[in-house]
Chain A
Amino acid sequence: MVDTTANQVLTTADGTPLKISLRRALRREKIRSLLLIAPLFLFILITFLFPIADMLYRGIDNEIMPRILPRTLEAIESWDPSGEGLPDEAVFAAMAQDVKQGAKEKTIGKIGRRLNYEVPGMSSLFRKSQRTMKQIKEPPYKEAMIKMDKKWGNLTTWRLIKREAGKYTWSYYLAGLDLRFNEKSQIVAQPKNRRIYVKLFGRTLWLSTVITLFCLVLGYPIAFLLATLPLRISNLLMILVLLPFWTSLLVRTTSWIALLQQQGVINDLLVWLNLLADDSRLRMIHNQIGTMVAMTHILLPFMVLPLYSVMKTIPPSYMRAARSLGANPFTAFVRVYMPNTVPGIGAGCILIFILSIGYYITPALVGGTDGTFISNFIAYHISTSLNWGLAAALGVYLLALILALYVLYDKLVGIDNMKLG
């Protein structure tokens, strides 16, 4: 019972002031909510967010250099890379020891590969040294090493080693933007034949834009149809949209391979209808066309569903009112209906754009070499070239791009309003 004497503070039955009691109850509520959320939060933190953070770290991770070349890095600290002279004998001796130990433990090859990302030729230098360094048994090492391989006498080699001596490096993040450190440790562009990543990002964004536009052009009419037909019919037609949505991505990609091949269903049909000669079949796969067609088909339901839910909320009386005020159907549509659907258009477009940029499977299977996205190169660097630093750097750039777009999506639609059909 609450004591409501005019001059006294309100209290609850056990005598504590109402304010404090209320605050306590609220706090308990909040803690209970947080306790319910906590398991999933911790789970996602450990299994998902830590990995993303690890990826950020891998982009700057350079620990193999101090681990495998400890003596060399210590000895080279006193050498001035901007001068014109090679390091002195002590540094060469340290390198010889490190290479001999690395050869025994079979770890020196990694150094060669790592340095090769910056300066081609390092890999062969270290491989050769791995095989033949044990023949150089005693000082002076400098001449012997230079005689074994000229590259030991190049300033470039030693400047590179000195520059990449630390535990951390920026070279991967730079490489992801087609930049590199030159000999004076300034940031310059990569040589022309190695500039591919900016181009790849550009191609990914361009193809994604085209795909988004195709999806919009194809999705708008059917969303309109579904929203305006009577419920029973539109539910049935909705199945035609939802079935592709629920079908496995690989299944849809497979069917496009079967359709688009030179000897596939579409070309066969066109030849049979005599619209095409047999030896000038259309090349629709293993190129950008394949990527665009397949991905438009795969992402189309993502455009239809948000548009449908927005269009469903527009009362049909608007159009009738516009007509009764004298507009012809076209004007009524363009000036009354369409502006009301703009939130749906925006949401659908950004959703498709975000999804499309990160795609890996479809471009890998039907893209050939000029229809591939940046994600294919991230995968290439993880599983084939094993340049994990570069893969991580590219991944971070992609993630930053997606987050920026996601913030935009949030401003337009709001995270809470996501409906999944």
Chain B
Amino acid sequence: MPSDISFSALQFGAVCRKAGGLIVKFKVDAGKPSEDGSMKSRFISVITAGLTAGGLLAANAAQAVELTVISWGGAYTASQQKAYHEPYMKKNPSVKILNDDSASEGLSKLRAQVEAGNVTWDLVDMVAADAITACDEGIAIEIDHDKLLAPAPDGTPATKDFGDMIVSPCFIPQIVYSTTFGYRTDKLKTPPTTIADVFDLKKFPGKRSLEKKPIGNLEWALLADGVSVDKVYDVLSTEKGLERAFKKLDTIKSEVVWWTKGAVPTQLLADGEVVMASAYNGRLFSLIEEEKQPVGMMWDWQVFDLDGWVIPKGGKNQAEVEKFLRFATDTQRLADQAKFISYGPARQSSAPMVGKHATLGIDMGPHMPTAPANAKHTLLFNYEWWADHRAELDERFQAWLVQ
């Protein structure tokens, strides 16, 4: 149990015991000869007992290490639990790993914690753009990748094994994933095949679900409007380009249900609340293959992104976290997580070890974002561009939502 419970408990346990003593003494003195005097005194002694017991219990907490790991929830956290957390907790019984699923607001919440002077998170799962920003602002610590991370089984040091994936000195890469579209096969007469179909309300009527962020949506709007992929960021850098993107989004705005948490778009698809939704490809995989929902995937202009870990500055269990990271990012573990969800491991040495799904037995290869059938049109995020412009675009997007 965290130490602050014990501290507060000891303080208030003392007060409670004093107060409880007073109340008990009063009960004895009151001697009220009424028929419900006994009920009242029983009531009071129950309260007293409860308070003192609570105080004692809290003070006698066990001394285990608790790591608070922030991730994205749903099927993704489940895959991390099965591949990293549970094996590690088995090997180290004194360590408890708690999952908090607020990674979708991870950057801002971490900023808030650092500003407030009380960092309670131990390890945060962040996408590359967020990790770059976190590193630049000094809220994540820089690490020595070769020292901290395990080398590949054949001896290649971690920096070479991860290669270009290490986009920032604070970033520990984990997976390659993409955000793409799922759609209800039973509610649409013809399946959508290109990104322009998402913006076509006539041929594909019904509600859509998009992420409540400008990242991704603005690029898709321009691509659907006919801008070629190598000019997208140039166009977005101009005011006219931004207006064009927002205008395109305006055409479907009334039909959009916005999501912030990764589990929501798949839930909306399963519930039938929307007919098309952008979602992380691994969640769509779970929905289709594990939960057997009537959903299909549209990979046109899937947006590639990197996801990994950062260690918050001022976290309270850094030594334990570093030990955990060394285990959780080694070759075998990254290959293991691919057994549960269709995200590609960031290490080169893990790629050949990706095989079949742990319980369903299906081949994971064709479901990876990097599979050739899926990767005909892929958009790579321009991390630097987004790191520079996200502040103003986030605000503009929020204002646009309210208009």
Contacts and interface: CB of A to CB of B under 8 A. Distances in A.
Contact of A386 (B115, B387, B390, B398): B115
Interface residues of B, number: 30
Contact of B399 (A124, A194, A262): A194
Contacts of A286: 257
A384 interface: yes
B392 A106 contact: no
Contact of B395 (A112, A199, A385): A385
A127 B136 contact: yes
A193 to B, nearest CB: 6
B399 A261 contact: no
Contacts of B3: none
B402 A196 contact: yes
B389 interface: yes
A238 B401 CA distance: 42
Nearest to B237: A124
A113 B139 CA distance: 15
Contact of A116 (B105, B108, B258, B391): B391
A135 to B, nearest CB: 16
Interface string A80-124: 000000000000000000000000011101101100110011011
A113 B398 CA distance: 16
Interface string A349-388: 0000000000000000000111010000000101111100
B40 interface: no
B138 A261 contact: no
A385 B397 CA distance: 12
Interface string A121-134: 10110011010000
A248 interface: no
B350 to A, nearest CB: 32
A369 B108 contact: no
A21 interface: no
A106 to B, nearest CB: 3
A327 interface: no
Given A105-B138, A127-B388, A384 B399 contact: no
B400 interface: yes
A235 interface: no
A289 interface: no
Interface in A320-366: none
Contacts of A293: none
Interface in A225-268: 261-263
Interface string B95-130: 000000000010011011001000000000000000
B402 A369 contact: yes
Contacts of A263: 271-273
Given A127-B388, A193-B399, A199-B402, A385 B394 contact: yes
Contacts of A385: 108, 394-395, 398
B396 interface: yes
Given A106-B138, A386-B108, A113 B257 contact: no
Nearest to B102: A383
Contact of A262 (B105, B273, B403): B273
Interface residues of A, number: 35
Contacts of B258: 368-369
Nearest to A387: B395
Given A193-B396, A193-B399, A193-B400, A261 B271 contact: yes
B108 to A, nearest CB: 5
Contact of A113 (B105, B391, B401): B391
A385 B403 CA distance: 18
B115 A380 contact: no
Task: Select the residue from B115, B271, B392 with max chain A CB neighbours within 10 A.
Answer: B392
A144 B390 CA distance: 26
A386 B112 contact: yes
B4 interface: no
Interface in A110-165: 110, 112-113, 116-117, 120-121, 123-124, 127-128, 130
A117 B394 CA distance: 11
A200 interface: yes
Contact of B136 (A109, A193, A262): A109
Nearest to B139: A106
A369 B388 CA distance: 27
B112 A123 contact: no
A386 B111 contact: yes
B137 interface: yes
Nearest to B253: A369
A383 to B, nearest CB: 6
Interface in A10-33: none
A121 B395 CA distance: 12
A383 B112 contact: yes
A291 B399 CA distance: 20
B136 A384 contact: no
A380 B108 CA distance: 10
Given A112-B391, A385-B108, A106 B271 contact: no
A384 B396 CA distance: 14
A1 B354 CA distance: 102
A200 B402 contact: yes
B257 A368 contact: yes
Contacts of A130: 136
Contacts of B403: 193, 196
Nearest to B388: A124
Given A385-B108, A385-B395, A261 B273 contact: yes
A196 B399 contact: yes
18 contacts: A107-B138, A109-B137, A113-B391, A116-B391, A116-B392, A116-B395, A123-B392, A130-B136, A194-B399, A196-B399, A261-B271, A261-B273, A262-B272, A368-B258, A372-B402, A382-B112, A383-B105, A386-B108
Given A286-B257, A370-B402, A382-B112, 20 more contacts: A105-B138, A106-B138, A112-B391, A113-B391, A120-B392, A123-B388, A123-B392, A193-B403, A196-B402, A261-B273, A262-B271, A262-B272, A262-B273, A263-B272, A372-B402, A383-B105, A383-B112, A385-B108, A385-B395, A386-B112
List the 8 closest pairs (A to B, CB-CB), nearest first.
Answer: A106-B138, A124-B388, A123-B391, A120-B392, A196-B402, A384-B108, A116-B391, A109-B137
